[in-house]
Amino acid sequence: MDNIDISEEDAFLAQVCWQYYVNELTQAEIAKYLGVTRLRVNQAIQKAKSTGAVRVQIESPYLPRIELQERLQERFGLRRVQVAPTHPQIYDFHRPAGAALASYMLDRVKSGEWRRIGVSWGMTLQATIDRLPKLSMPDVEIISMIGGTSRGEMFNSFGIASGFAERFGARYSLLAAPIFLGEEVERRAFLAQENFEKHFKKLETLDAAILTASNISAKSYLISSGLPEGVTSEGLIASGAIGDVVCRFLDIDGKLVSDKLDRQTIGIELEILKSVPDRILAAAGPHKVDIIRVIASQGIATTLITDDVTAKLLLDE
């Protein structure tokens, strides 16, 4: 007989369901990971279905890693932290954080707290979209906070904004510009166009900003495919860059590493971003720990959504 304390039964059920429905492990893999029988895992899944704990997302107060969350909140002065469980041996740094963000966004949108939502880009946000149900929220507007690339990946900023809008049944507004201007383009004249002026005014009235982060490596789409001519990952590292948020490259102290590159960047400026009431960073992965620390500690984000592997690394000195 499996030795599971009755007081931990709900937490056990939530853990099983997360591994099964979000991390997509088999029942046998979950049983081995948790040290219980496959029958016990199957019974937990059936109970979750019968009680309604599993619908579009897993509903349970036991999902959060409470101790990790509280320590991260205290360490970085964050308003809120949500830590999603993952599987360290079958690790995906997009899916668990994306699923947790989906649940978080649904609560805020359904409550009416958020009407204008700024979004960035990336695979974590695509994973979030994949977990959202279809709603009808015509009063909500999804607003892209950065320019895009000419390549058509779904997690490009254009695809992310339209993807969220489709799921929420909302309106959306694209920043129909490249991420980086060419050196020969005069920034002020470019942004003086009426459509850009209107869009940047919207960025000053956001209720929430959904952020991701990337490091300086080939794992970053921006590094592998989006840098302007003449800018290299080696050059960014030499300048002290450890990663980016909304395509703004930062050093370990949270400072912009290049005024020139920053002037070429088309998107929300950090000072405007910091004025948004709710700023949610959804990011996970050992390679992102340094840049997540900077974004969390410098007041760029008010809320952090990550996974338990990353959370533990963030708390290491």
Q: Contact at 8 Å (CB) between 75 and 317? A: no
Task: Render pLDDT for 14-52 as a digit per residue (tens, 0 to 9).
Answer: 889 888 888 889 999 999 888 899 999 999 998 888 887
pLDDT confidence of residue 123: 92
- What angle in degrees, to the nearest 10, is found between the helix axes of 95-111 and 123-131? 60
* pTM, rounded to two decimals: 0.80
pLDDT confidence of residue 1: 43
pLDDT confidence of residue 5: 45
CA dist 59 and 266 (Å) reads 39
Strand partners, 249: 244
pLDDT confidence of residue 4: 46
Residues of the chain with pLDDT below 50 are 1-7, 56
CA dist 124 and 134 (Å) reads 19
pLDDT confidence of residue 64: 53
pLDDT confidence of residue 59: 56
DSSP sequence for 144-173: E-B-B-SS--TTSHHHHHHHHHHHHT-EEE
pLDDT confidence of residue 234: 95
pLDDT confidence of residue 153: 57
**Which helix (H) or strand (E) element contains residue 243?**
strand 243-245
pLDDT confidence of residue 219: 87
